Chains A and B, each alone.
Chain A
Amino acid sequence: MWVEKYRPKSVEDMVGNEDSRIGFLNWLKEWRMGSKPALLIGAPGTGKTTLVHLTANRLGLNIIELNASDVRTKERMERKLGPMLDSQGLFNERPLIFLDEVDGMYDRQDRGGVEFVEELMERSPAPIVMAANVEDDKKITKLIRKSRVFRFRRLPPRFMEIYIEDIIKKEKVRFGKEAIRILVKEAKGDMRAAINSAQSLAGLSAEELRSVISSRDQSYSLREGLESFFNAKSKEKAYEALRSCDATPRDKVRLAYTSIINGNLSNDELIEALEGLGDADEIIRRIERTQEWRILRYFDRVLAYSLFKALPKGRVSYNEDDMPWDLKLRMWNESRALRDASKSLSKFLHASSREIMSVFMSYLLFILSKDKESMERFVTLLGLEGSVLKVLMKEADRVVSRV
């Protein structure tokens, strides 16, 4: 297998994620008792496990590995790691504890495992390295806080291109530049997948490759799936991207929603998109109400078709923020000034500050927007700070633009 034959033999043989690789190597070189453990986060195929093995080899460390295929309950882990913890230094061996796929340790079958790891982090006489596939998982937030994090991104296509090109040259097979580029695009940053495809499809022309690849089923993370969905050129491609997403329908709707409200859309486009999203959401609610799971098969198609029609291409991209940042910043930075103004005004107008904000403020700002001097006098009269003037002027501009 090429993937074995061309597996990197040293840290220098790898490509991509240079800063994380160098950072991890230095972390391990400088590790002292009491140092934080390392947490490598990144999608499968980005080189986390390979890096740990190669770095340990380079520094002469003996790896004790517990991966997802092991049952990692507290008892099992104690049994495996206990002797090492007690006999540290006895045989002059320098161990390294490697816990692969720690994000999968939260299942029932690994009961007590996480608590054991957290305890181990405090008293380990050997460096602990953990690896996780997902970073947006709330489950590993605590580990992130307590660890030195190294993030591993999907490999940039150009790095993959030169790596595959090198293999093709060494294997002396016929493979054009265009064909290599098709393979690299299809692998989406997963070097293992690219090398496997290169071996199985070696010798095919670019045209033949295209037809083989288009017939393959692909699997996306939610982020990748929604990115492909928002950039899809046809309804069918949009549907395929959504269908191949490894996520629940509820998550698809939630993240499509946050992406849409953060997108660069006009009011009409936004309304149409949210209506489409509402149709898909209705399917989920109906399933929850009636437990008719067979309806689920229509979900991806409804979501894809209705949103594809409503969303102009390139104007929406993946976003997890529940509120657009310009709005958040207004709420954080400007709400205090507006509250102060309405509180002061309430004394003059004998109304509650809430009423001032919801009923009078817009009209008042509209009137004052015509003349900056009046606005300045207004702020002085209310006994407010100068910074409030700036916020009120900005708010007045918004009111005028809405009229």
Chain B
Amino acid sequence: MIVTVGEWFRLPRLGREAFVSLMKAGLVYDKARGFRAEADADLIKIVSILKGALEEDFEFVPRCFTCDSIIECYSCAYYQACGVKSLTQNCLCGECVNNGDALSVYRRVLIKRIV
């Protein structure tokens, strides 16, 4: 199962204890929309719980902070060295990184969000 960080997703019923552990790890639940990993969620813990509970692979993928596209971690030059796939809140896609003006674009988007 592959889920984008910050998006709502559904899970089968896993029992009370697993639910409590997921909530403690920072997942939020909404009856109508399902589950979502909050900004301060412990994604490593959530992945570990869900891998065991679902008995299948579970992975969070980040979105590009500037263009909002889904990032394919596998093609990234830093894939081996990076904790993004399990830890971070945001990342940048390959196109945005290689754009000569990446930092300015990033800052423009950030200022919009802060305001």
Contacts and interface: CB of A to CB of B under 8 A. Distances in A.
Interface in B61-92: 62, 65, 76-78, 80-84, 87-92
Contacts of B91: 156, 158-159
Interface in B1-60: 14-18, 39-40, 42, 44-45, 48-53, 55
A329 interface: yes
Interface in A137-188: 149-151, 153-154, 156-159, 161-163, 165-166, 181, 184-185, 188
Contacts of B49: 321, 325
A301 B11 CA distance: 43
A5 B1 CA distance: 45
Interface in A18-72: 18-20, 22-23, 25
B92 A159 contact: yes
A157 B42 CA distance: 19
Contact of B90 (A150, A156, A185, A262): A156
B17 A329 contact: yes
B32 to A, nearest CB: 23
Name the prevailing secondary structure of the A interface residues: helix
A314 B89 CA distance: 24
Nearest to A11: B114
Interface residues of B, number: 42
Interface residues of A, number: 46
A231 interface: yes
A325 B18 contact: yes
B113 A22 contact: yes
B114 A12 contact: yes
A334 to B, nearest CB: 9
B97 A161 contact: yes
Contact of A325 (B42, B52, B78): B52
Interface in A304-342: 318-321, 324-329, 332-333
B40 A162 contact: no
Given A156-B88, A156-B90, A332-B16, 7 more contacts: A18-B90, A25-B114, A151-B39, A156-B92, A159-B92, A162-B106, A163-B103
